[in-house]
Amino acid sequence: MMDHFGISVADLDASARFYDTVLGTLGHTRLMDFGQAIGYGTGAEAGFWISGPVEGASNRECHIAFSAPDVAAVDAWFAAAEALGAEVLHRPRLWPEYHEHYYGAFVRDPDGNNVEAVCHTAEA
């Protein structure tokens, strides 16, 4: 449904380290790097971008949910984020209030955004 999504970050190097690590656990890599903008994805399509701060722009919390193929990938993503010192919002678990197979974990990225990895095929 979405072509691509980008966020402005306060410290591009810190955010690049964070996203290089946590997105790598989901099979996404840094596909493009223009110095002040970095694109991540699989194949040839960069669907998620980070860029350096924009003069005068505010940084309000965004919620970004990355697809994971299975529970193990969500767990690996969470372990990588926690190892980087990310603030834990919600440890990996089933979220039956969303739907019976929704398994997700939530952390804050270096700019305070609510970042999630989720799979929709978990079994109770």
What fold, for 5-52+61-119?
A: 2,3-Dihydroxybiphenyl 1,2-Dioxygenase; domain 1 (3.10.180)
Taking the whole predicted model, whether its pTM rises above 0.75 is answered as: yes
State the average pLDDT over residues 33-47. 92
Per-residue confidence at 4, pLDDT binned at 50, 70, 90? Answer: confident
Retrieve residue 79's tokens.
């372990």
State the pLDDT at residue 58.
66
Question: Tens digit of pLDDT for each residue in 53-104?
Answer: 877 766 677 899 999 999 999 999 999 999 999 999 999 999 999 999 999 9
State the pLDDT at residue 124.
82
Nearest to 27 by CA among 66, 64, 1: 66
Sequential DSSP letters for 57-74? ------EEEEE-SSHHHH
Question: Tens digit of pLDDT for each residue in 15-30?
Answer: 999 999 999 999 999 9
How is residue 10 annotated by DSSP? S
State the pLDDT at residue 59.
65
Backbone angles phi, psi at 43, to 5 degrees: 65, -125
Backbone angles phi, psi at 69, to 5 degrees: -75, -25
Which residue's structure tokens are 């609510």? 114
